[in-house]
């Protein structure tokens, strides 16, 4: 079966394209999904793209990624990045590697965006490269050793 990469998006990312485009860029989440699906099929993989404004959905989907034997998770947790001990624990609880992605560079922004609970548990982080970051994360995900 093709490698599956879960791509999980948190609060407000459903508004991409409309939401502060000077910070987050012009692409919608559907635009990003279409490019990821195309790139994944070129690489012999598939993506499972999801978005929720609710923390618990993201926790459940991290558990599901583990249960379904996903190759990796790409996670843009939005503002939950900076607050969610539950996401930190969920990432620690699974063996599937998690790659944190942000469209903007939180370290170049307000001080309250500098702390990331996701980064403390993730394999690595790609930030500040806009929508391209998701594609780079997909390529990285497929080059990581599969979880043991």
103 binds ligand DQA (CB under 6 A): yes
Residue closer to ligand DQA, measured from CB, 3 or 14: 14
Number of residues that bind ligand DQA (CB under 6 A): 10
Active site residue 6: no
Strands (E) located in 13-71: 45-51
Phi, psi of 115 (to 5 degrees): -90, 135
Q: Does 83 bind ligand DQA (CB under 6 A)?
A: no
For 145, phi then psi, to 5°, come to -60, 140
Q: Which residues contact 44 (CB under 8 A, 6 or more apart)?
A: 2, 3
Token couple for 85: 């001990």
By beta-carbon proximity to ligand DQA, the closer residue of 103 and 137 is: 103
Out of 70, 102, 119, 121, name the contact with ligand DQA by CB under 6 A: 102
Asked whether 94 and 25 are in contact (CB, 8 A), the reply is no
Q: Is 102 a catalytic residue?
A: yes
Exactly one of 6, 88, 102, 134 is catalytic; name it. Answer: 102
Binding interface with ligand DQA (CB under 6 A): 12, 76, 78-79, 81, 102-104, 106, 113
Tell me which residues are annotated as active site: 24, 102
């Amino acid at each position: 079966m093709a490698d599956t990469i879960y791509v999980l998006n948190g609060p407000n990312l459903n508004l991409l394209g409309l939401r502060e485009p000077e910070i987050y860029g012009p692409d919608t989440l559907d635009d990003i999904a279409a490019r990821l699906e195309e790139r994944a099929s070129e690489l012999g993989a598939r993506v499972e793209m999801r978005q929720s404004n609710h923390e618990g959905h993201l926790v459940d989907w991290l558990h599901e990624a583990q249960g379904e034997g996903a190759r990796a998770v790409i996670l843009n947790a939005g503002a939950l990045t900076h607050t969610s001990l539950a996401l930190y624990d969920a990432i620690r609880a699974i063996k599937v590697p998690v790659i944190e992605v942000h469209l903007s560079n939180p370290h170049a922004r307000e001080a309250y965006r500098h702390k990331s609970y996701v980064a403390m548990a993730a394999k690595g982080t790609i930030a500040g490269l806009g929508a391209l970051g998701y594609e780079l994360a997909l390529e990285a995900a497929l080059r990581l050793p599969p979880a043991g």
